[in-house]
Amino acid sequence: MAADTMTVDELRDLRLGTLNTAITDWRTMVGRLERLATGDAGGVSAAGLSKKADAADWKGDNATVTRSFVTKTAAQFSDAAAEAKGVLAILSGAHTSFTQHKADLQTAVDELAKRNIYVNGKGGVVASVPPPMVAGDADIHKPSDTELDVAQNRITKILREASETDRIAARALRQLAENKYDFAGEGSGSLKNADREQGKADAEYWRKEIAKGKVDEWSDEKLARFNEVLEYQSDNPAFTEAFAVGLGPDGTLQFWRDLADPGQGHTPEGDRAKLLGDVQQNLSLSLANATHSHSPEMEAWKKDIIAAGGKQYGHEGIMVKPYGFQIMSNLMVKGKFDKEFLDDYGKALHTFETEKRYDPASIWGNPLIASQLDYTAKGEGDDYGTPGSDPMAGYLRAVSHNPEFATELFNREETADYLLTEREYYDEDAPYGKGDGTVQSRDALGKAMLAAGTGLNPDEPHVLDSYQHTDEQRDAFTGAMSRLAEKGDDFPPELRDDMALLLGNHGEDVHQTASSINTSEGRLNYEELLEVSKQVSRDQNAYGVLMEGVNQAIVADIHAEHKGDAKEELLRAGQTVGFMETVRSQAIDTDKGDASWPAKWGYHALGGAANFIPVVGDAVQRGVDAGAYAWQLEEQKRIDGDISDKKGENFDLRQAYLTALGAEWMKANPDHELSRAGEDDKYLVQEAIGRAAFNGNDTANGVAGA
């Protein structure tokens, strides 16, 4: 949270009774001033004084000096009454808002406490679980990292909204009191109006500052002030629309061009580069907010900024001139842009690329147009600032932040074909193959694909409680899987982690398909799932994420309600384990000539895996954890070289994992005939799940032709 953001203690301790007293006093004051101004209650009034002054026959200096003084003084009573009403409106609005903020905070704190999440006085959240000696055998919920992230976002949002109320009210009151010797007779009328007026005023101020030019010469202090305004006004439509329209399409693009890459050897670095990264993100949030306006002015701005995509923007005396698409896409890295704007922008970008008849590296990576436009990532020397030359990267990041549109986009056959199979992506750091090998735009493609198939923004924490998806999300997922399966060993490395998360998000379907005896009857295409899982497993981290998702789906299935013999879930568990072992073995075979493979082979779960996997109950979660622990323990032994990894010996290596799953099945089905023998006879359970694992291996190898 920002340094000036209100804390939990400050919001809790806010004395609204004192504010309410002030409101009562100002309400009384308004009544008195209005009576003095209008005389509605009889007696002497400013209106009467003004009327008499106008009717009097003034002579000499009195006709100019005294008459003017009396008339102005009379008017001041009306102005004072108007300003008092303004103060009353601001205070009343603040009281209403703060009352709601305090209630929201208390509700959040109480609800989180039930999930064993504690909110401290500064607004941080931590797990608050009693130690084992206190909890005993009680079923105590332990919050996951994802739950804590969601909780933190909730508390932070409440505190920021309270801080916004405080800032808007304070600024409005200062504006009313800025003249010590005169009443302006003006007031916002409400806190909402004050927010709008302040937004428009800030937009106009910075429009004028930008219009002066030489923005690259702004001091760090001035740039920080601009960034601060962007940060707290980025969700204010009055500011965002006025700012975008005020700059105009060309002005918006030229502004970032000038600020991000001044040229002449003055490319920002160090603290300046890091600050520009904050500006870039907050400016993106502001423009995203503005695109949701459908006023004639904003509709024209959106249309013209897309039309400017094919124009080039430079500096006097500098040959390097990036395209508008390159600049604008770097201003789309944050925020939820309007879906219609994303649609029109994406179509225009696609058309531009195809009409150029060159590969993207030749269009966007040309040294004569490439500039440093992205400050959200680190480049050479671990300093903020990279070329950001491929506009598809920024566009796809924006797509991933609007999951509804992402799903729609990836269900368009022509577009999905272009993005996933036809388009040539390149390393922006060195378009002709001299970079670190990471293709940034393809990494953004993975995030957009993930959003399309899950309906979730990959950059926001979520807590899911089911595997339910819309038909459109399932179609986007299966369409991506089908197209990528066709690539075989040319499967893009940048998409492995995202596909692992996507498979985990659809873990129920993955488990049911992987455990199918008749491979043509699975929920997914068995051959495509096999190929894509193999490609994902060529990266140990991605394979670990995939196993996390599959393990959760297996244990959840064991505990779910089913018709018929519960033994089916035991056998399906083994069958899926066999499937997963096979794809791992095939992945190793594919890359056995890669000398770097052993160095990469280490299990480090990717952050955010749980963000896409449905949460199960606490009792079931213990089974999930037990299975994951057993699998990871054996995996580590294999990494350390304590276990051989010869093809055909896979299931000897999975004994602990299969044992853990078998034990979980017995716990879920204590009355089944295979479970009734208890601890004295687990052989039948282990034999059944082990044989099923071999069947899974045989089936997968058979389909793969191994």
What is the structure's pLDDT at 120? 95
Alpha carbons 497 and 426: distance in angstroms, whole number: 19
- The 10 Å CB-count burial string (b at 16+, else e) for 501-518 is bbbbbbbbbbbbbbbbee
Query: Inter-axis angle of helices 191-211 and 220-233, to 10 degrees?
Result: 150
- Spatial CA neighbour of 486 closest among 448, 527, 537, 523: 527
The bridge status of strand 117-119 relative to strand 125-127 is antiparallel
Percentage of the residues of the chain whose pLDDT score is greater than 90: 57
What is the structure's pLDDT at 64? 46
Is residue 129 scored above 90 in pLDDT?
no
Q: Which residue has the tokens 């992506």?
A: 425
**What does the pLDDT average to over 125-134?**
80
Helix-, strand-, coil-residue percentages of the chain, each rounded to 5: 65, 0, 30
**What does the pLDDT average to over 405-412?**
98
What is the structure's pLDDT at 367? 79
Is residue 65 scored above 60 in pLDDT?
no
Question: What's the chain's average pLDDT?
Answer: 86
AA letter at 299: E
Is residue 295 scored above 60 in pLDDT?
yes
* Token code pair at residue 63: 């006709």
Rg (CA), the chain: 32
Out of 80-89, 128-137, 636-645, pick the least confident: 636-645
What is the structure's pLDDT at 535? 96
Is residue 226 scored above 70 in pLDDT?
yes
Beta bridge partners of 323: 312
**What does the pLDDT average to over 499-510?**
96
Alpha helices (H) along 5-128: 8-12, 16-38, 46-55, 61, 67-114
What is the structure's pLDDT at 75? 53
Out of 108-117, 482-491, 600-609, pick the least confident: 600-609
Is residue 180 scored above 60 in pLDDT?
no
What is the structure's pLDDT at 585? 86
Question: Which contiguous run of DSSP H or E holds residue 634?
Answer: helix 618-640
* HEC-encoded secondary structure of 434-472: CCCCCCHHHHHHHHHHHHHHHCCCCCCCCCCCCCCCCHH
Query: Inter-axis angle of helices 220-233 and 270-290, to 10 degrees?
Result: 30
Confidence bin at 358 (pLDDT 50/70/90)? confident
Confidence bin at 67 (pLDDT 50/70/90)? very low
Question: Which contiguous run of DSSP H or E holds residue 166?
Answer: helix 145-176
**What does the pLDDT average to over 239-256?**
97
Out of 82-86, 545-549, 596-600, pick the least confident: 596-600
Top-ranked range on mean pLDDT: pick from 12-26, 59-73, 162-176: 162-176
How many other CB atoms sit within 10 Å of the CB of residue 699?
A: 22
**What does the pLDDT average to over 481-500?**
96
What is the structure's pLDDT at 438? 80
Out of 196-210, 420-434, 463-477, 656-670, pick the least confident: 420-434
Is residue 60 scored above 70 in pLDDT?
no
Q: What are phi and psi for residue 676, nearest 5 degrees?
A: -65, -25
Confidence bin at 636 (pLDDT 50/70/90)? confident
What is the structure's pLDDT at 21? 85
Q: Contact at 8 Å (CB) between 535 and 579?
A: no
Query: pLDDT tens digits for 414-462?
Result: 999 999 999 999 988 765 555 567 899 999 999 999 999 999 999 999 9
| C-alpha dihedral, 367 to 372 to 374 to 376, nearest 10° | 120
HSE-up (13 A, CA, CB side) for residue 97? 21
Higher-confidence residue: 636 or 29? 636
- Spatial CA neighbour of 568 closest among 519, 619, 511, 613: 511
Question: Which contiguous run of DSSP H or E holds residue 125?
Answer: strand 125-127
**What does the pLDDT average to over 13-28?**
82
- The 10 Å CB-count burial string (b at 16+, else e) for 442-457 is bbbbbbbbbbbbbbbb
Is residue 233 scored above 70 in pLDDT?
yes
AA letter at 574: G
Confidence bin at 70 (pLDDT 50/70/90)? very low
Q: Contact at 8 Å (CB) between 503 and 549?
A: yes
Percentage of the residues of the chain whose pLDDT score is greater than 70: 82
Out of 83-92, 160-169, 184-193, pick the least confident: 184-193
Out of 57-71, 595-609, 633-647, pick the least confident: 57-71
What is the structure's pLDDT at 38? 56
Higher-confidence residue: 340 or 638? 340
Q: Contact at 8 Å (CB) between 10 and 122?
A: no
The alpha carbon of 549 is separated from its chain's Cα centroid by a whole number of angstroms, namely: 21
Confidence bin at 346 (pLDDT 50/70/90)? very high
Beta bridge partners of 119: 125
Q: Contact at 8 Å (CB) between 556 and 616?
A: yes
With a CB cutoff of 8 Å and minimum separation 6, the contacts of 398 are: 288, 329, 332, 333, 335, 337, 342
Specify the DSSP class assigned to residue 164.
H
* HEC-encoded secondary structure of 255-269: HHHHHHCCCCCCCCC
Beta bridge partners of 117: 127
* Token code pair at residue 147: 């739950």
What is the structure's pLDDT at 601? 59
Confidence bin at 179 (pLDDT 50/70/90)? low
Q: Contact at 8 Å (CB) between 108 and 158?
A: yes
Q: Contact at 8 Å (CB) between 245 and 296?
A: no
What is the structure's pLDDT at 62? 45
Query: pLDDT tens digits for 573-604?
Result: 999 999 999 998 898 888 877 766 566 656 55
AA letter at 527: E
What is the structure's pLDDT at 58? 45
Is residue 252 scored above 80 in pLDDT?
yes
Is residue 694 scored above 70 in pLDDT?
yes
Q: Is 118 exposed, middle or buried (0-12, 13-18, 19+ CB in 10 A)?
A: middle
What is the structure's pLDDT at 71? 47
Question: Which contiguous run of DSSP H or E holds residue 386?
Answer: strand 384-386
Higher-confidence residue: 159 or 136? 159
Higher-confidence residue: 514 or 637? 514
Q: Which residue has the tokens 């608050």?
A: 128
Confidence bin at 606 (pLDDT 50/70/90)? low
Alpha helices (H) along 291-338: 296-307, 324-329
Alpha carbons 443 and 197: distance in angstroms, whole number: 41
How many other CB atoms sit within 10 Å of the CB of residue 622?
A: 16
Question: Which contiguous run of DSSP H or E holds residue 549?
Answer: helix 540-559
What is the structure's pLDDT at 499? 97
Q: Contact at 8 Å (CB) between 284 and 333?
A: yes
